[in-house]
Structure formats: structure tokens, C-alpha cells
Amino acid sequence: MTLIAIEWDDTVGDDGRGGVRLLDQTLLPGTTTHREIRHTDDLVTAIAELAVRGAPALGVAGAMGVVLAMDEGEREAWSAAQVEQAVDRVRHARPTAVNLAWGVDRVRPLMAEGRDAVLEAARTVAREDEAANRELSRLGADWLLARIDRPRLRVLTHCNTGALATSAWGTALGVVRELHARDRLELVYVDETRPLLQGSRLTAFELASDGIAHVVQADGAAASTILRGLVDLAVVGADRIAANGDAANKIGTLGVALACADAGIPFMVAAPWSTVDLAMADGSGIEIEERSGEEVTALGGTRLAPEGTRGFNPAFDVTPARLVGAVATERGVAEPKAGTDLTAFADRSADPGHHSRDRTAIGLK
Ligand code: MRU
């Protein structure tokens, strides 16, 4: 099934300019409905509510948000400063995934050339993200298969990193898809991913659509599943990766990494280069989004904790580089735990010519 999380749709609205069309992920898998967005503040709301989510998809949202601000500014006769303020609201709609600001900053310099130039650049962001995901998935699968001696791998993953979280294909789930395509995948253990259940609602939905064998487990089961020897590796996505390999991802990822270290199995982070933030030397400076405590004290709108009990709801954690066996990007696979950080890849381009060189660099044929 082809899932498109976010796109620019020329038929949205009635002035021929179009708008953002996004699959509302708050209602999946039960209800498939789209939000058609023409106002920047509606995009900010959609981002805050996680109707569109996942770092690479947020990069596309950021880029398309600039077009929205320009179109809305023209319709509403905003000043240039008002347009810039609207762009800034999109840029800061969520703090942890660097891709959101990256997507805005990628197209913002083109504003002087007009909205068509910005829209074309935003569409390019989406196209390049899919290409990056497919390449990093191939490289990630190569790295794993070179190190794990089993005909078919048993994989644990956390949160949702598939087509729904990206432009297409996925990052960690892209690696899973690549293993499946090579007939080297046995089973995926999907952490349900409390409190918003991106694992049980979204990852299971994507895997079921693709006919990939999987089970959903409570997040609290992950460490035990790993130490019992039921999985060969864990692969997760990231919202921001610091230069040294510290990686911010959905809350609960750190526990998975700790268990993998104890069990001596690979813990891989799979992400496009757009998620790497070389301006951050390490993860200590990454802002962790704190969401409403009610997402934890209630489930599906039903209060679970006693009235008066407050929830604590950090949405992400940071896994230190010493626990990260591999970071698979389209530029190659870094090994932070073994001492190669991300700066080694700073000057590489992602052009296809690098594929063979990257594979050679990591000791693969
Ligand atoms: O709060 P979310 O659902 O946006 O969090 C998403 C994640 O943590 C993903 O693992 C990450 O963004 C990578 S998506 C390819």
C-alpha cells in the first residue's frame, strides 16, 4: 500500500494554488482521513497534535509551511514581517526533530525568487528524502547482515519510522522492509510506544499492509525480549543525531539501547543525513519536548490515573553514543560505539557514486 503522509496538492482550495494535504495520523488505523491545510497556523496545530509527525515528514512540513505562509500572506495582504513570523511559527512548532527547522531553512533563502521556486524546492526535499531512505536502508541492511549470522533476522523496533514518518519507504522501518525484500527477515517485535502508540497504531498498520510478520509488545516487555535472546538486533529512527553519535528518539529508545548493550546485540539508528545536527557536539544540548501529562494519565480520552495525579511526559530521550553500534545514513554507516562519529561523513555527498565507496569503507563488498 502506498501511504503518503504529506504532500502539496494543487487541488486544495479554489484559487489554483493548492495547499498541504496530510494523512491525519491521530486517527489511524481506525479512520483514514486527510487534513487540507491553507493556513500556517493550521499546519502548526497539525504538527503539535502529531497529525503529521516523524522527523523526515516534519522536514517536508517545514518546507511546505514556507509556501503556505507566502500564499496566506498574499491572500491576507500580510507585511513581509508577518510572513516571516508565520514561517517562524512553523519552524518552532516542535523542538526536538531537527528536520523541521532544517526543512524551513532549506527553502527559506528562495523566498525572494517567489513561491513557485519555494514550492519546487519543498517538493525536492520530499523527493530527496525518499531516495535517502532507500539508500540508508540498503546500507543498514548490508551492515547488519555482515555481522549477524542467521538466515533470517528477528528485529525489535520502537515508535514509527515508516512511510508515515517520512516522504516514503521509511528509515528504521526501511531497513526492516529491505531485509524483508531480501527474504532475510523472520519477525518484527514492535514496541507499542506509549503514550501515543505510534508502534501499535502506525508501525503495525504499515507492517500488516506489507504482509510483514510482526507482533506488538508493551514497551515494558522490550528489555526482557532482548535479554531472553528473542531478537538479533534493534533498529530505531532518530529526531536529532549529534556529531558524536548521541541520538534523540522517541521516549523508551534508551531502555532498548541499554538492553541491547547488555545482551551484546547491535543497536542501530537509521536516519537520513537531514537528521544529523553537526552543530550539536553531543546530545546534552538537544531540547526534549515535554508534552501534556494528560497523554500519560489518560488513554484514548479515558482517565486512568486518579484525579489529581500529574503526568510526566518527556516525548524523547537521548541514547548516548557509547550504546549506538551503528548510525545508518545515505552517506554511509557510522559506528559511534567503536569511535567513528558523524563528522567523518560531513563532506560526503549522497550521490549514488558514493554507494560503492561507502560500502567499501565499512568493509562490505
Ligand atoms: O513524536 P513523534 O511520533 O513525531 O516521534 C517520532 C520518532 O521518535 C521517530 O522515531 C523519529 O522521528 C524518526 S521517524 C523516521
- 189, three cell numbers: 517485535
pLDDT at 184: 98
- 97 in ligand 1 pocket by Cβ < 6 Å? yes
Domain count, the chain: 2
The residue whose CA has the least distance to atom 10 of ligand 1 is 237
Our answer to whether residue 239 is catalytic in this structure is yes
354-364 confidence digits (pLDDT tens): 444 343 333 32
Contact (CB, 8 A) for 327 and 143: no
Contact (CB, 8 A) for 108 and 90: no
Same structural domain, 204 and 304 = yes
Is the pTM above the cut of 0.85? Answer: yes
**Cβ partners under 8 Å of residue 164, min gap 6:** 3, 5, 23, 25, 28, 53, 54, 57, 202, 205, 206
Same structural domain, 53 and 88 = yes
Same structural domain, 119 and 203 = no
What CATH number does residue 82 fall under?
A: 1.20.120.420
Same structural domain, 78 and 171 = no
Q: Does the residue 107 lie in any domain? A: yes
- 59 in ligand 1 pocket by Cβ < 6 Å? no
**Cβ partners under 8 Å of residue 57, min gap 6:** 5, 6, 164, 165, 166, 167
pLDDT grade for 86, boundaries at 50, 70 and 90: very high
Q: Does the residue 343 lie in any domain? A: yes
- 235, three cell numbers: 533498529
280-336 confidence digits (pLDDT tens): 999 999 999 999 999 999 998 899 999 999 999 999 999 999 999 999 999 999 999
> Does residue 109 have a cis peptide bond before it, meaning omega lies within 30 degrees of 0?
no
pLDDT at 359: 37
Out of 191, 239, 277, 317, the active site residue is 239
What CATH number does residue 329 fall under?
A: 3.40.50.10470
- 276 in ligand 1 pocket by Cβ < 6 Å? no
Query: Rounded CA gap, 67 and 318, in Å?
Result: 32
Same structural domain, 117 and 178 = no
pLDDT at 357: 39
Ligand 1 center to residue 77 CA distance, Å? Answer: 36
Same structural domain, 67 and 172 = no
234-259 confidence digits (pLDDT tens): 999 999 999 999 999 999 999 999 99
Contact (CB, 8 A) for 140 and 326: yes
Residue 289 DSSP class: P
Same structural domain, 261 and 167 = yes
- Whether the predicted pLDDT of 61 surpasses 70: yes
Nearest ligand 1 atom to the CA of 315 is 1
Same structural domain, 108 and 185 = no
Question: What is the percentage of the chain residues whose pLDDT exceeds 90?
Answer: 93
The closest alpha carbon to 161, from 145, 172, 175, 150, belongs to 172
Query: Rounded CA gap, 143 and 147, in Å?
Result: 7
Q: Which residues constitute the domain of residue 241?
A: 149-362
Ligand 1 center to residue 165 CA distance, Å? Answer: 7
Q: Does the residue 22 lie in any domain? A: yes
Ligand 1 center to residue 159 CA distance, Å? Answer: 6
- 288 in ligand 1 pocket by Cβ < 6 Å? no
Query: What's the longest Cα–Cα distance across the chain?
Result: 63
Same structural domain, 307 and 158 = yes
